[in-house]
Chain A
């Protein structure tokens, strides 16, 4: 397929996954605030901005990390390239350049999602904010389902998967990193009722709460990080995302008749995860591990670009 088209498909998928994650983060945080009470508020909303990685651009334009400001910044702020509105608009613009490649059903769903968010962005007030975020995620799920069932599982489909999985792994470690920083365990806090609630919220941010319960039952930071990084079966764990991305890159390599640089890099990272455990991560330090992981994940993104999207004069 055209290099440009592959690039657009990859970014369409990344942006949608990003919007899905942000929408869930906000929703979970709103619920968390109900449990924690108002006096904890701004720390948590501030943490959410850091999760998006856009704390500097937030500070430039907003005075305080109040719920209203953060929600506005992360949802409708058009000057924030990672707001939900910007992400969905970018996803749609990318889809527009490949609308003849993806199925009409996918395009129409994405188009509907864009109009839904854009129309709401013009409203002075949204009566049911929770319903709004829920609807975004539902439509995103429909899109992903349509990609699964109305689009041939060829090269383009694999780029959808690769974009989605790399973005997802990135978001999963980010939420861990920020929450860990916020909840930096002090001895008397660990396993207190509040601690449990906070870690449950982290799980919910990755829709992992119920699946986690089946394996570990009680929420504590050791097991939560283990689950979100190493679980082999949960579709948002880092290990799972990388293994699936690896599978797609292998399929693409098979189609092209040669392995790519991106494939080699994912293979390395996947290999590391296979040979280590959460205790190794703690030895390195969670934050240091996450920092290193993000550097490698960004390098993979760059390698995907160089391997497939940049022009190769063959």
Chain B
């Protein structure tokens, strides 16, 4: 098994040029794998899978009574992002996050962007992601979106497009960190030569960010991670991040509100909490304010937040900018708040609420990808070119009934990257999710989660639908110390 018969099949490939030659930046790792031979490569792949299994980085197989567990499939051939490409992404992400944070603050306070008619007001008010309970909130240090994981795809033209902004505490960072740790064991040879940039200090940056956003006057902020509990599919990540930062991992039932402060229930009694990195969705956060039937949250926590006695990261309400119809306005948002041209483009988006867009969408359902505006994870989606007539009919009816709930985008020829499939190396479609922290400054971790659609020709990278992951090597331009 090697790269000798590898074919890019006309797709943009992350490791190979269109003429079938390895990209210069990726050459060391390709040569290393070629020299290793198929047997050794497979052995290392197996060893990495076994290590992840023993680490307990597993999810339960649904419906299996005997407790079968699986790891998220992990492919040991890394995805490479070259230094110059990364520079553009980094600058573009900083710009985008900066603008989105200003946008959210404006929406819940002055609403200038609505008054100036850049975005139609009813677009915001009709969004299920708009939370009136957040009106007038001023989060500490002005930061709403402390942690972001922006989804990118690369089109056939080789350009990175933002697909989704994911401003509501996205998951996946633990895979980035674990995958890297695994790769250091599995293919250590090429790291130094390729000047792979480090990701392992993410937890330090995260902790700094969370400490920084504590309310003024708090001397040594008590930071915690709030999880829905062990049955949540991302529990592994919640525990991992708490462990890496050395902070308490709490569930809603561990917290209690007293005199508008939030406390942990400890063996010694109550202990005040200052900053909560919460991995519970807005609507479950506080049954007194949002969903009344939530047992995951903490009754009264929003009032503590409103009074400035505790910081929530991310702030409640940030989902407004995740609405896929609002997403279409992000280029305008960047221009409006920063007076700059967007550095990274959006995927062109048709908003079904607009009559002309809707007409085009309904006439071209077989060419477009249709998405529900407030769903993610590959749900509520129609992939036009792969759909049946019946599915298109169903979506046409849905769009006509609730046009505000749908957008459409052209089907992108997602880039591919070499992946071990059985006894061969074959091209598979990938996306890319870097992680951004907003504290004192905006920090973009030089790395990210590359999700890969392991099924041939599939464009769906979600783990629930046959997706796996890879380590992402962002290359530096000068030798560095630690990886």
Contacts and interface: CB of A to CB of B under 8 A. Distances in A.
Interface stretch (B75-83, B116-124, B239-247, B475-483): B239-247
Contacts of B230: 93, 96-97
Contacts of B248: 1-2, 5
Contacts of A108: 54-56
Contacts of B268: 255-256, 314
A62 interface: no
Interface stretch (B39-47, B163-171, B184-192, B249-257): B249-257
Contacts of B267: 1-3, 6, 155, 252, 256, 308-309
Contacts of A256: 267-268
Interface residues of B, number: 27
A93 B56 CA distance: 12
B67 interface: yes
A100 B242 contact: yes
A155 B271 CA distance: 16
B335 interface: no
Contact of A112 (B54, B229, B240): B54
B265 interface: yes
Nearest to A252: B267
A181 interface: no
Contacts of B254: 2-4
B243 A4 contact: no
Contact of B265 (A4, A96, A99): A4
Given A111-B54, A112-B54, A2 B250 contact: yes
Nearest to B224: A2
B270 interface: yes
B270 A313 contact: yes
A4 B255 CA distance: 11
A107 B265 CA distance: 24
A155 to B, nearest CB: 7
Contacts, number: 70
Nearest to A156: B267
A100 B243 contact: yes
Contacts of A122: 66
Interface string A92-111: 01001101110010011001
Contacts of A314: 268-270
Nearest to B235: A96
A155 B266 CA distance: 11
Contacts of B240: 100
A4 B270 contact: no
B210 interface: no
Residue in A97, A99, A115 whose Cβ sees the most chain B Cβ within 10 Å: A99
Interface string B55-71: 11000000000110000
B54 A311 contact: no
A313 B259 CA distance: 13
Residue in B239, B266, B269 whose Cβ sees the most chain A Cβ within 10 Å: B266
Interface string B263-284: 0111111100000000000000
Nearest to B241: A100
A284 B8 CA distance: 85
Interface in A264-314: 308-309, 311-314
Given A2-B254, A4-B251, A118-B67, A99 B266 contact: no
Contact of B264 (A2, A111, A312): A2
Contacts of B243: 99-101, 104
Contacts of A155: 267
A309 B270 CA distance: 13
Closest 5 CB pairs of A and B: A314-B269, A100-B243, A100-B242, A111-B56, A100-B239
Given A107-B56, A108-B54, A313-B256, 6 more contacts: A2-B265, A96-B230, A96-B235, A100-B243, A104-B243, A256-B267
9 contacts: A6-B267, A96-B230, A99-B243, A100-B240, A104-B243, A108-B56, A118-B66, A155-B267, A314-B269
